[in-house]
């Protein structure tokens, strides 16, 4: 069957249309369309607590385009989720009503924990061998407004947490100069280390056998390391970033002004104004969790949403398995 998922995030609006088939090892997805447009729905939400009207209109235009594609593909099973910006904005209900009129299905505001569980499902269903063989798995999903951390073993989610650090939120909160001043970077790094130290301690100082990184900051850094001039999901998927590579790219990108970052990045240039905030989050994650490397995955919450739209039961905390 054909199924689709729409992820309305703080920084971007993404779509996945896929054919879902059953298999002996679990469901199989064949991607038909995977699209992403940066609309910055969450611009200013950290400061104002409200969605900006212009950001709403940008997002609704993209949703109209996605609705046309869904109609052309004859997709009926659709899951739409709204994440950090919609959770935090006081006027989100009005936007969701308009989004339903445009998209044909009402986006559901999901909690950080549900976002984490869906991300784990999407990130682990195609690892190439059974998830059980990796031991403890840590999935890290760096968004625009929040970052989700999921610990699992095989198909079991053991713990899922979400904290309000993301590429847009960090850039807006700490980085006002171009390029960022050393003092701004230091304040951001200290804040992130403090937040993540509490998180790591609360999760029992886990030592995962595999760490998987999701979303735009991670995939963009992987593309930079590969020397790509435009986004290539197949080339990026299941490559590795080492801790030293993350730190190196963070320092290089933070030293450049906005236009210099765009030239250096080559791909995903619309992320140039928030990539330093995202790099800071990823750098703090690898440091605080003691990760020597992290597996880059293009498969994420979108894939988890498609699997749910197709009828696959998602994992829950404390031991339920995916059927």
Contact 95, 21 (CB under 8 A): no
Tokens of 35: 């699209």
Query: What pLDDT score was predicted for residue 21?
Result: 79
pLDDT in tens, 1-34: 899 999 998 888 999 999 887 655 566 788 999 9
Strand pairing class (2-8; 77-82):
parallel
Query: What pLDDT score was predicted for residue 83?
Result: 85
Long-range contacts of 124-131 (CB under 8 A, 24+ apart): 124/152, 124/155, 124/212, 125/26, 125/27, 125/29, 125/299, 125/303, 125/307, 125/322, 126/29, 126/299, 127/210, 128/238, 130/25, 130/154, 131/155
Residues 6+ apart with CB under 8 A from 198: none
Strand pairing class (2-8; 12-21):
antiparallel
pLDDT in tens, 93-139: 999 999 999 999 999 998 878 888 888 988 988 887 878 889 999 99
String of DSSP letters for 87-102: HH-TTHHHHHHHHHHH
d(CA 14, CA 300): 11
Tokens of 189: 């790094």
Query: What pLDDT score was predicted for residue 185?
Result: 98
d(CA 31, CA 19): 7
292: exposed, middle or buried (Cβ count in 10 Å: 0-12, 13-18, 19+): exposed
Determine phi and psi for 297, rounding to 5 degrees. -125, 130
d(CA 3, CA 264): 37
Determine phi and psi for 39, rounding to 5 degrees. -120, -15
d(CA 9, CA 16): 14
- For residue 177, the 8-state DSSP code is S
Q: Which residues of the chain have pLDDT under 50?
A: 313-323
With tokens 């009503």, the residue in question is 97
pTM of the entire predicted model: 0.84
Determine phi and psi for 140, rounding to 5 degrees. -120, 120
């Amino acid at each position: 069957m054909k199924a689709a998922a729409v992820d309305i995030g703080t920084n971007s609006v993404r779509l996945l249309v896929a054919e879902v088939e059953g298999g002996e090892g679990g469901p199989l997805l064949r991607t038909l369309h995977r699209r992403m447009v940066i609309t910055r729905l969450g611009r200013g939400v950290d400061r104002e607590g409200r969605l900006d009207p212009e950001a709403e209109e940008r997002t609704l235009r993209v949703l109209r385009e996605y609705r046309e594609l869904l109609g052309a593909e004859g997709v009926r099973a659709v899951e739409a989720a709204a994440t950090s910006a919609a959770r935090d904005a006081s006027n989100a209900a009005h936007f969701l009503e308009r989004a339903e009129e445009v998209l044909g299905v009402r986006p559901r505001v999901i909690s950080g924990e549900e976002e984490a569980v869906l991300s784990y499902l999407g990130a682990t269903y195609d690892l190439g061998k059974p998830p059980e063989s990796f031991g403890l798995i840590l999935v890290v999903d760096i968004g625009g407004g929040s970052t989700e951390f999921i610990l699992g073993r095989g198909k079991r989610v053991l713990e899922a947490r979400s904290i309000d650090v993301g590429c847009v939120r960090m850039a807006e909160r700490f980085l006002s100069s171009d390029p960022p001043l050393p003092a701004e970077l230091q304040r951001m790094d200290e804040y992130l280390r403090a937040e993540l130290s509490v998180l790591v301690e609360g999760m029992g100082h886990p030592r995962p056998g595999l760490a998987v990184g999701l979303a735009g900051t991670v995939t963009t850094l992987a593309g930079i390391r590969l020397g790509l001039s435009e986004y290539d999901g197949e080339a990026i998927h299941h490559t590795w970033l080492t801790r030293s590579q993350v730190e190196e790219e963070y320092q290089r990108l933070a030293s450049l002004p906005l236009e210099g970052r765009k030239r250096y990045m080559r791909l995903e240039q619309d992320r140039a104004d928030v990539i330093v905030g995202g790099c800071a989050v990823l750098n703090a994650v690898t440091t605080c969790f003691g990760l020597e490397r992290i597996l880059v995955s293009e498969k994420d919450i979108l894939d988890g949403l498609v699997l749910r739209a197709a009828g696959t039961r998602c994992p829950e905390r404390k031991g339920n398995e995916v059927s």
